[in-house]
Structure 1
Amino acid sequence: MSKVVLITGGSSGIGKSIGEFLTHKGFVVYGTSRNPERYPETKFNLVKLDVSDTTTIKEAIATVIAQSGRLDVLINNAGAGITGPIEEIPDAEIQRNFETNFFGPIRVIKAVLPQMRVQNSGLIINVTSIAGYMGLPYRGVYSASKGALELITEAFRMEIKDFNIHMTNVAPGDFATNIAAGRYHAPVLEHSPYKKPYGDTLSLMDAHVSGGKDPQLMAQAIYKVISTEKPNIHYKVGEFMQKFSIVLKRILPDKVYENMLMKHYKL
């Protein structure tokens, strides 16, 4: 029997690549979008879901179960970028980012757990970020939201273990997607004390995304996780130095690591 997969944020970028790859591998795939009608050419099922709206979450999951009879894999991929000096980012934008990157995945997890418990099986994959392992300058809110999802997954895994449901994190580095265009940018203010360092860092971040890896690598990594009987707690996917930066954070003194980051961002 083909496994049934639900991917939040499946209309573009990494989510779309994962959906197409898994469809090719024979999975029954449902992606989600807040406006699925805008993507008529999608090569897999696309259902309406907004991670900030519990009603749409319940309706989307009910649709999947009604059509396919089960739900084997949830991939929490929907996410939003945000940049800016923390002092200058409006509180409402910080809260909105956490709604999408942290509270949204939790809502979807809570909604799928009853079905997976009935099945006595299931896998939940939370797409986080290598940025969630460190506080990055002018990406602090994004780092915090993804880091929070990493940590809560560690706790969630232990709580759902008795139900034969597995949960894991997959943290990508920079990939060539449209996330830079869709994220919230705090404006570079003319009279801001952060004008030059933030402006320079913003240009560097956009260059990293534009020169990022092919999203197909994430799709392949997700497929390997799904094919693993007992997934690890954390996976990292990206450039060697991006993954190695997590190792360096563990072994270097705090200030040495901080100086390394500042040098990288030319701060």
Structure 2
Amino acid sequence: MKSKTVLITGGSSGIGKAIGTYLTTKGHIVYGTTRNISKYPDFVAFSLLEMDVREPKSILLAVSELIKKEGRLDVLINNAGVGITGPLEETPNIEILKAFDTNFNGPLNVIKTVLPQMRIQNSGLVINITSIAGYMGLPYRGIYSATKGALEIITESLRLETREFGIQVTCIAPGDFATNIASGRYHAPVKEGSPYQKVYSKTLTTIDNHVEAGGNPLEVAKLVDEIMNTEYPKIHYKVGSFMQKFSVILKRILPDKWYEQLLLNYSN
């Protein structure tokens, strides 16, 4: 396959770094982004650009720099994101807004910035990294689920709006993978005496255990490569353990209350 120029947001670690490293071995020109490039003086896996997806000016500067260097942009992988947990009643509004700013508004603003270049080329591919959690309202992870579910829906809309310009749009919903996402996740504090204290505290432990036992991010990287080699990508892809992927199917076929009980059993 012909070498492509790829931009990966949140490319300095975790799934983003795994994708970038793998695509580099396939001969693609890869640029990753990070909010603070000074933290990665020894990063050599691929090129890094400084970008904060919450700041439109920062996005414009990074995208402009890439296009100036390479003359084109073939693939955007919206991977930057943050985790957030907590009882909805006790999660501060400011933290809810921050999560949406990074996980939803951020990818949307990056898309808005790259679309003019892709229209000029009459080609391009946008891959939004969402989450299997975006298909269901998980207890104590409702805000995260909502941000990723919103990005899934936007993917569907964007496909229809950009089809006539030769631009393809898809999304990948990963399950649990062994990354450092837990270290950067916002946790609403477990409050002494809170009606949620016991169950929420137990859920936090369960969440971290799931991440630690998660799969290799290389699985996501290989799926990205597969999509890049697909003439007509599907709308939605899932990657993760069998049960995580199967849970999305179960939601479509099980009665609501049965599925709700399944989620409670899994979370606890």
For the aligned pair, the TM-score class normalised by the smaller chain equals: over 0.9
Query: Is 2:32 the partner of 1:31?
Result: yes
Report the CA distance between 1:264 and its aligned residue: 1.8
- 1:45-124 aligned at under 5 Å gives the runs 45-124=47-126
Report the CA distance between 1:38 and its aligned residue: 1.3
Report the CA distance between 1:263 and its aligned residue: 1.7
Moved >6 Å (runs of 4+):
none
2-structure distance, mates of 1:259, 1:176: 26
1-structure distance, mates of 2:86, 2:21: 33
SS state of the match for residue 231, structure 2?
A: coil
2-structure distance, mates of 1:156, 1:220: 24
- Residue by residue, what CA displacement relative to the aligned partner does 1:119-154 show, whole Å, maximum 9, x if unpaired? 000000000000000000000000000000001110
1-structure distance, mates of 2:61, 2:172: 26
SS state of the match for residue 27, structure 2?
A: coil
SS state of the match for residue 250, structure 1?
A: helix
Indicate the residue corresponding to 1:170 in structure 2. 172
For 2:79, the aligned partner's letter is N
1-structure distance, mates of 2:50, 2:267: 39
For 1:88, the aligned partner's letter is E
Q: TM-score, normalised by structure 2?
A: 0.98
Indicate the residue corresponding to 1:194 in structure 2. 196
SS state of the match for residue 120, structure 2?
A: helix
- Residue by residue, what CA displacement relative to the aligned partner does 1:223-261 show, whole Å, maximum 9, x if unpaired? 111111110000000000000000000000101100111
SS state of the match for residue 79, structure 1?
A: coil
- Residue by residue, what CA displacement relative to the aligned partner does 1:168-213 show, whole Å, maximum 9, x if unpaired? 0100000000001101000111111100000001100000000000
Indicate the residue corresponding to 2:259 in structure 1. 257
2-structure distance, mates of 1:206, 1:111: 35
SS state of the match for residue 116, structure 2?
A: helix
SS state of the match for residue 187, structure 1?
A: coil
For 1:129, the aligned partner's letter is S
Indicate the residue corresponding to 2:10 in structure 1. 9
1-structure distance, mates of 2:99, 2:192: 25
Query: Is 2:254 the partner of 1:220?
Result: no
Indicate the residue corresponding to 2:19 in structure 1. 18
2-structure distance, mates of 1:176, 1:32: 20
Aligned counterpart for 2:187 among listed residues 165, 168, 185: 185
**Percent identity at matched positions?**
62
1-structure distance, mates of 2:125, 2:32: 16
For 1:189, the aligned partner's letter is K
SS state of the match for residue 26, structure 1?
A: coil
Report the CA distance between 1:39 and its aligned residue: 1.2
Deviates more, 1:131-140 or 1:38-47: 38-47
Report the CA distance between 1:40 and its aligned residue: 2.4
For 1:34, the aligned partner's letter is R
Report the CA distance between 1:92 and its aligned residue: 0.4
SS state of the match for residue 87, structure 1?
A: helix
2-structure distance, mates of 1:265, 1:165: 38
For 1:65, the aligned partner's letter is I
- Residue by residue, what CA displacement relative to the aligned partner does 1:30-87 show, whole Å, maximum 9, x if unpaired? 0000111211232111001000000110000001101101000000000000000010
Root-mean-square deviation (CA, aligned residues, Å) is 0.7
2-structure distance, mates of 1:169, 1:256: 28
SS state of the match for residue 32, structure 1?
A: strand
